[in-house]
Copies of this chain bind each other. A is one copy, B any other.
Amino acid sequence: MKAATDMCRIAAYTGPEIPLENIIVRPTHSLLAQSQHANEAKLTVNGDGFGISWYGADTAPGLYRDVLPAWADENLTNLCRMVHSRLFIAHIRASTVGETSRANCHPFKFGKWSFCHNGQIPHFRTIRRRMLAALPDHLFEAMQGTTDSEMIFFTLLANGLEADPAAAMRATLAQIGPAGDNGPIKITCVFSDGETLFAFRHATAGNAPSLYASGVLDNGGRSLASEPLCGTAARWSAIPTDTICAMTVAGVKTLDGLVAA
């Protein structure tokens, strides 16, 4: 049903076309390395699946997800070496409960959008029916899995992600409502329409899962990552909370003010 807070790792990139491996495999502290020895994660195990969405000539992103631990997958290393992309998002998932299935692996995809999430709605069980009922038919039918993460994504789409990401996020947080008794809501997510990388961090208490924006990389691109990818940029700055950050090659800006109080 859910992955516990801080247990996933995210890396994303926008800039000149590069092999996926330049972000996912090659940096000293790459996403692959983080999946085995994360410095800032509570659990050092990230073995419940991974996924990549990447953009090319098509509007719709490519999507590659599997339930095997990332470090055991020769397909992944080949894909990362051969596929070049100007914008991509990668995610490694850990979950201590429930079944692992491809449908529950991030990123999720709908049309031109892809989305991944690190965090948790601890009381998701109590609001899932209500949120599912609020989706319009075409989004309800497109959902494949059972995670809170996928529900946040589809609710964002229902709330007008295309027209106004900040307003969509405000409406989505309102629908989720206040935290329940199981603990604070924590949401750190990265998503894209194929042109811009959006990042958002939020926690009703405590810290939202970490997410950093790189400065300009050696090759002129920019990156987002749960933990700085050593050796690819001098400067990494923490994504602020409660405001959507929009990253393009030109830079990072925040969208219209606070998304949540």
Q: Contact residues of A with B, CB < 8 Å?
A: 36, 44-45, 47-48, 54, 56, 58, 60, 62-69, 71-72, 74-75, 78-79, 81-83, 95-96, 99-103, 125, 128-129, 132-133, 137, 140-141, 144, 146
**Shortest Cβ distance from A27 into chain B, in angstroms?**
18
Contact A75–B71 (Cβ < 8 Å): no
Please state if B56 and A82 are interface contacts (CB–CB under 8 Å).
yes
Question: Closest CB-CB distance, A83 to chain B, in whole Å?
Answer: 6
**Per a CB cutoff under 8 Å, which of B36, B74, B103, B129 touches A63?**
B74
| Given contact pairs A48-B69, A67-B68, A129 touches B140 in the complex (Cβ within 8 A) | yes
CA distance A47 to B54 in the complex (A): 27
Q: Whose C-beta in chain B lies nearest to the C-beta of A96? A: B71
Contact B62 A79 (CB under 8 A): yes
Check A58 against B45 for contact (C-beta < 8 Å). Answer: no
Partner of A99, one of B62, B64, B74, B140: B74
Chain B residues contacting A103 (CB-CB under 8 Å) are 99, 101, 103
- What is the CA–CA distance of A260 and B116 in the complex, to the nearest angstrom? 46
User: How many copies of the shown chain assemble into the complex?
Assistant: 4
Contacts of A68 in B (CB 8 A): 67-68, 100
- 5 example contacts (A-B, Cβ-Cβ < 8 A) are as follows A47-B47, A62-B81, A69-B69, A72-B100, A133-B133
Q: Is the CB of B81 within 8 A of A82?
A: no
- Contact (Cβ within 8 A) B83 A82: yes
Closest Cβ of chain B to A172, distance in Å, is 20
- State A82–B60 Cα separation when bound (angstroms): 9
- Knowing A47-B47, A83-B83, A141-B125, the reply to whether A72 touches B67 (Cβ < 8 A) is yes
Contacts of A67 in B (CB 8 A): 68, 72
A-B CB proximity, top 5 nearest: A62-B82, A47-B47, A72-B100, A101-B101, A62-B78
Question: What is the CB-to-nearest-CB distance from A70 to chain B, in angstroms, rounded to a whole number?
Answer: 10
Q: B99–A99 contact, CB under 8 A?
A: no
Contact across chains for B82 and A69 when beta carbons are under 8 A apart? no
Q: How far apart are A193's CB and chain B's nearest CB, in angstroms? A: 17
Q: Quote the shortest CB–CB distance from A118 to chain B (angstroms).
A: 18
- Give A241 to B125 CA distance when docked, in angstroms: 39
